[in-house]
Amino acid sequence: METGNVTTPFGRRSMTLGMLANQVMAGEIKPDQSVDKWKLFRALCEAKPLLGIGDRALAVLNALLSFYPKNELAQENGLIVFPSNVQLSLRTHGMAEQTVRRHLAALVEAGLLLRKDSPNGKRYVRRDRAGEVDEAFGFSLAPLLARAEEIEQLAAEVMAERLHVQRLRERITLCRRDIAKLIEAAVEEEIPGDWQGLYREFRDLIEGLPRSPTTSQLELLLDELTALRTDILNRLEIRVKSTKQRGNADYFERHIQNSNPESTSELEPGFETKQGAIAEQDNDRGAVTLEKGRGEAAHPGGQKEEEQSRRPDVRNDGGGLKSFPLGLVLQACPEILAYGPDGVIRNWRDLMAAAVIVRSMLGVSPSAYEEAANVMGPENAATVMACILERGGHINSAGGYLRGLTRRSEKGEFAIGPMLMALLRANAPPGRKVG
């Protein structure tokens, strides 16, 4: 049985006040105090960050507890275990004896074990004539019993903190999703506003978070993302309210005017689009000629009706696709800039001319590009060609890919917005990309 006397370590190991304090604490265990050793071990596994112990030290402690004959740690059952390092190595699945000794020292340092060394430093037990333990030398589990309530409380704190962090991360994920989709919807609906600036602010917040953030950093990020989401929602709500006030008739009229093939781009006031212009490129000389397909000024008399009868699949509404600002297209697809006149794209006409060059370079047939222009509209077809150029390394057949998008556009199953937003994220500066 345990005598309760203060013992000093064997050999060169020195005595410290911490060891003395642990022995005094272990001597204050109540006679009827007991705890389930495996339940306490699970609490130790939860509380290990606050106790300063690692996984391998816990593996050694698990082996020591397996040598304790009872499930209940109690002073009346004795609290000394005395396995050799060889036995501990076997119970820790072959851990090296030197490593076992190091982790035993760490457990003593953390105040979870006490050494009760024999005169020669060996671990053994003396029994009386009845076979009961008279005196044992080894490791005392008394600190575990004495600190059982403290360990369980620490485990509860760690679990509560982990649950709090988990909920913070869930709320941050929801905020991130809301902000990204709201900005994407605003861009697709062509709602006025500095959406690119808001998106950059959003990315800066996300990328400013460390790889292993603290709870306070997560709380701060959640507050900032919530404020940004509220700002975006307010802008969109103002737009929705103003649309309702104008009435449905005015709202539909505005969309019909914006989809007018002869209308000019809001961002390029000096450029008059000529929808239906069919771009053809001479493969030998690279010369570009524009054949006017639907403009009344270029087709006197009944030529317009004749052209439409020859191409019944021409759709003046651009296939229902929405055009996007030229600046956004160039930011998402910067590679197309090199193919513009003098390496510059100033307006939609320059972009469509560059798209014709890119079409020939990527091996897209004139008929495939003409069909895309007829279905999507020339501006949208040029935008799609710029996107294909940007993703050229991931597309095996540019012509087949374009025809597939054209068919999807005819069925109303294709939208350019998600493609542009994905490229916008991919082409963000390296310091702003999320790993």
Confidence of residue 280 (pLDDT cuts 50, 70, 90): very low
Over residues 62-92, the pLDDT tens digits come to 999 999 988 888 887 778 888 988 999 999 9
Q: How far is CA 101 from CA 56, 60, 120, in A?
A: 11, 9, 17
Q: What is the average pLDDT across 29-43?
A: 87
The structure tokens listed for 4 are: 């309760």
Query: Is the pLDDT assigned to residue 99 strictly greater than 90?
Result: yes
- Amino acid 172: pLDDT: 94
Q: How far is CA 43 from CA 50, 51, 55, 168, 270, in A?
A: 12, 11, 13, 24, 73
- Amino acid 85: pLDDT: 87
| Contact criterion met (CB below 8 Å) for 134 and 128 | yes
Helices (H), ranges, 121-214: 142-146, 148-188, 195-207
Confidence of residue 244 (pLDDT cuts 50, 70, 90): low
| Contact criterion met (CB below 8 Å) for 187 and 138 | no
Confidence of residue 241 (pLDDT cuts 50, 70, 90): confident
Beta bridge partners of 72: 36
Q: How many CB atoms lie within 10 A of CB 308?
A: 16
- Amino acid 13: pLDDT: 62
Burial classification of residue 14, based on how many CB atoms lie within 10 Å of its CB (0-12 exposed, 13-18 middle, 19 or more buried): exposed
- Amino acid 131: pLDDT: 66
Over residues 142-162, the pLDDT tens digits come to 888 888 899 999 999 999 999
- Amino acid 301: pLDDT: 40
Query: Which of 176 and 19 is assigned the larger pLDDT?
Result: 176
pTM comes to 0.48
Compute the chain's Rg from CA coordinates: 38
Query: Which of 287 and 218 is assigned the larger pLDDT?
Result: 218
The structure tokens listed for 217 are: 């950093």
- Amino acid 196: pLDDT: 86
Beta bridge partners of 74: 34
CA angle 139, 37, 106 (to 5 degrees): 40
Query: Is the pLDDT assigned to residue 395 strictly greater than 80?
Result: yes
Query: Is the pLDDT assigned to residue 317 strictly greater than 90?
Result: no
Could you report how far apart the first and last alpha carbons of the chain are, in Å? 58
Confidence of residue 426 (pLDDT cuts 50, 70, 90): confident
Query: Is the pLDDT assigned to residue 431 strictly greater than 70?
Result: no
Q: What is the mean pLDDT of the chain?
A: 76
Phi, psi at 405, each rounded to 5°: -65, -35
Q: Closest Cα to residue 323, out of 415, 197, 390?
A: 415
